[in-house]
Amino acid sequence: MLGALADDFTGATDLAMALVARGFRTVVSIGEAPSSASPASASPASADAVVVALKTRTIEPSQAVAASRDALRSLQEMGATQIYDKYCSTFDSTPRGNIGPVLDALMTDLGASLTVVVPSFPAAGRTVVNGQLYVHGTPLAESPMRHHPLTPMTDSDVPRLLAAQSSAVVRLVTLETVRAGVASVRAALDRFLEDEAVAVVVDAESEGDLVTIAAACADLPLITGGSGLALGLTGPGAPPVRLPARGGPQVVLAGSASVATMGQIEHARSRMPHRRLDLAELRQDFPAHVGSLVSWARSSWSSSPVLIYAVGDPSDVEAAVPDGAVPASELIERALAQLASDLADAGCRELIVAGGETSGAVVSALGVRELVIGQPVAAGVTWASGVSRGREMNLLLKSGNFGDVDLMSAAWGVLA
């Protein structure tokens, strides 16, 4: 069995989507590895892959390490024979972590002397050439990720980014070696085994490159990267699950401030009823503002999905936080999580959530413990099904940077 850890909830569904596409019966567990059979179509006992969705991307490094180690132990107890450490394909991190510290801890606990670092996800425009990470052909440091509020990416050099936060020796395998084939990559990795603990960044520009890398790493106890690396793996050929439409009200909750999500919001606002969170009102009277949005949504969702969002354009970002006040990002997460809970109680059974941190807050508020992966919508974006307070719900948990501009209006039609 393949055991995987994802550093946020959208990353977990993204990875699970790739594994399902490769024929793995996959269970996504929220926060910890499952200990009992899932009520859905796959159970931990029958799964070929279990993905644990953590919320460790931006918490304190020590907390991220502790949560990852706990999940690793649970996956080992379930019989995982290889561990996949999944992080964002744009290597969202800082010099303090959390990618490096988690990688170091997993290598130590697994007794692994070598692992690979493969953030590339070509289908989503993320590639690595000569160790430089590109986003749709633009160096990472020149992409919109340089303005990320929590993990601003101002360097495109993956080996340098990792070396700043990891105690491992960082090496590089270039695209030339990858294109020479599996044996060439394996030989390159073997040459690095003389070092005590080695993390090898491996270039990849196409899905074929990922297939080569995955084959060369088949016997490694630990592999790390974005979800793209999973597209190089080969499962036993289990058929994908098709989720039914649940019927009833449909809601979009968008907490991401990414350029892609803002474009999707702009597109959706011309097609569905919409409201923006008012941070000043949330600070003044949180329950009243959330309650007013719930009442508005219930009065507006009879003929169309409704959209509630935090940031429609850069000017919506809060310029300053009052002394002693809750940061805007935390306030937005709390508000959207409460909205998800209240709207589910009011009858919503299909929900699109934009933003990794927002998705984590929403899923936790709904009490969903496991997800079944259903129909893909776009690269890295899929519908999933979970049980919330005894009710089946369809959830689309989307990374802020992923999806076409019409995703918020078009995704509903993908359900059976």
Cα distance between residue 227 and residue 113, in whole Å: 23
Pair (255, 137) in one structural domain: no
Cα distance between residue 306 and residue 390, in whole Å: 24
Of the candidates 128, 108, 110, the residue with the CA atom closest to the CA atom of residue 118: 128
- 176: burial class by Cβ within 10 Å (0-12, 13-18, 19+)? exposed
Q: Does residue 239 fall inside a structural domain?
A: no
Pair (220, 282) in one structural domain: no
Q: Does residue 395 fall inside a structural domain?
A: yes
Pair (79, 166) in one structural domain: yes
User: Domain ends where: 232, 264, 281?
Assistant: 232
Respond yes or no on whether the N-terminal peptide bond of residue 98 is cis (omega within 30° of 0).
Answer: yes
Q: In tens digits, what is the pLDDT along the chain, a chain of 416 residues?
A: 999 999 988 889 889 999 999 999 998 998 766 554 343 444 555 789 999 999 899 899 999 999 999 999 999 999 999 999 999 999 999 999 999 999 999 999 999 999 999 999 998 899 999 999 999 999 999 998 898 877 889 999 999 999 999 999 999 999 999 999 999 999 999 999 876 899 999 999 999 999 999 999 999 999 999 999 998 998 898 888 899 999 999 999 999 988 899 999 999 999 999 999 999 999 999 999 999 999 999 999 998 999 999 998 877 776 556 666 788 889 999 999 999 999 999 999 999 999 988 998 999 999 999 998 999 999 889 999 999 999 999 999 998 888 999 999 999 999 97
pLDDT at residue 42, rounded to an integer: 46
Pair (298, 186) in one structural domain: no
Of the candidates 195, 193, 231, 226, the residue with the CA atom closest to the CA atom of residue 211: 231
CA 359 to chain centre: 9
Pair (228, 280) in one structural domain: no
Cα distance between residue 143 and residue 41, in whole Å: 40
Pair (193, 321) in one structural domain: no
Pair (132, 42) in one structural domain: yes
Pair (263, 153) in one structural domain: no
With a CB cutoff of 8 Å and minimum separation 6, the contacts of 391 are 344, 349
Sign of CA dihedral 110, 231, 59, 201: positive
How many Cβ atoms from other residues are within 10 Å of residue 122's Cβ?
19
User: Domain ends where: 206, 232, 258?
Assistant: 232
Cα distance between residue 166 and residue 97, in whole Å: 8
pLDDT at residue 325, rounded to an integer: 78
Q: Does residue 70 fall inside a structural domain?
A: yes
pLDDT at residue 208, rounded to an integer: 96
pLDDT at residue 380, rounded to an integer: 84
Contact 260, 401 (CB under 8 A): yes
Q: Does residue 244 fall inside a structural domain?
A: no
pLDDT at residue 150, rounded to an integer: 79
Q: Domain range for residue 202?
A: 2-232
Q: Does residue 410 fall inside a structural domain?
A: yes
Q: In what order do the strands lie in the sheet with 138-139?
A: 126-129, 132-135, 138-139
Of the candidates 108, 39, 114, 29, the residue with the CA atom closest to the CA atom of residue 71: 29
Pair (55, 82) in one structural domain: yes
Q: Does residue 240 fall inside a structural domain?
A: no
Q: Does residue 55 fall inside a structural domain?
A: yes
Of the candidates 146, 159, 152, the residue with the CA atom closest to the CA atom of residue 202: 159
The domain that holds 307 is classified in CATH as 3.40.980.20
Contact 279, 324 (CB under 8 A): no
Q: Does residue 237 fall inside a structural domain?
A: no
Number of domains the chain is built from: 2
Pair (31, 72) in one structural domain: yes
Pair (14, 106) in one structural domain: yes
Pair (216, 256) in one structural domain: no
